């Protein structure tokens, strides 16, 4: 979606905000950034869908069709299930936030991050 806008609106032309010339190198750099961001986003949705399939198989859709054949529609369904279970939307800030008690910290140092608890961990009340 982003890539379409970049290629339609400014193919080596002028910046619509400051009217400066856009060079080929700048265009290629922006195009690569859009590709990277899109791939990273799709990868995260895929990982969340796999988590839901593994731990919530009774309610999640089977989106896995092999390494490159996952159903995007089913992955997004699983992602929505995950989001609604593990997060909530804060109307005041306009951001999605983690539901308390549903997450654990994993890793150490710079690698430390939040990860969702499995249903088994939630039953046991692990932190």
Q: Indicate whether 35 belongs to any domain.
A: yes
Residue-level pLDDT at 10: 47
With 0.75 as the threshold, say if the pTM is over it.
no
Q: Could you list the residue range(s) of the whole structural domain that residue 64 is in? A: 2-7+22-124
Distance CA 78, CA 9 (A): 34
Q: How many domains does the chain have?
A: 1
pLDDT digits (tens, 9 = 90+) for 59-89: 998 877 655 556 888 999 999 999 999 999 9
Q: Indicate whether 16 belongs to any domain.
A: no
Q: Indicate whether 70 belongs to any domain.
A: yes
Q: Indicate whether 15 belongs to any domain.
A: no
Q: Indicate whether 119 belongs to any domain.
A: yes
In the predicted structure, residue 7 carries a pLDDT above the cut 60? no
**DSSP secondary structure, 75-119, as one string:** HHHHHHHHHHHHEEEETTTTEEEEPTTSEEEES-GGG-EEEEPPH
Q: Indicate whether 41 belongs to any domain.
A: yes
Q: Indicate whether 65 belongs to any domain.
A: yes
Calculate mean pLDDT across residues 32-38: 94
């Amino acid at each position: 979606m982003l890539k379409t806008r970049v290629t339609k609106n400014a193919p080596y032309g002028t910046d619509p905000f400051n009217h400066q010339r856009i060079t080929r190198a700048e265009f290629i750099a922006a195009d690569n950034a859009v590709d990277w961001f899109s791939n990273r986003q799709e990868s995260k949705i895929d990982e969340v869908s796999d988590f839901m399939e593994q731990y919530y198989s009774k309610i999640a859709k089977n989106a896995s069709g092999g390494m490159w054949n996952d159903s995007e529609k089913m992955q997004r369904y699983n992602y929505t299930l995950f989001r609604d279970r593990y997060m909530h939307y804060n109307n005041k800030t306009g951001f999605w936030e983690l539901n308390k008690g549903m997450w654990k910290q994993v890793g150490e140092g710079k690698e430390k991050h939040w990860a969702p608890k499995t249903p088994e961990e939630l039953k046991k009340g692990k932190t």
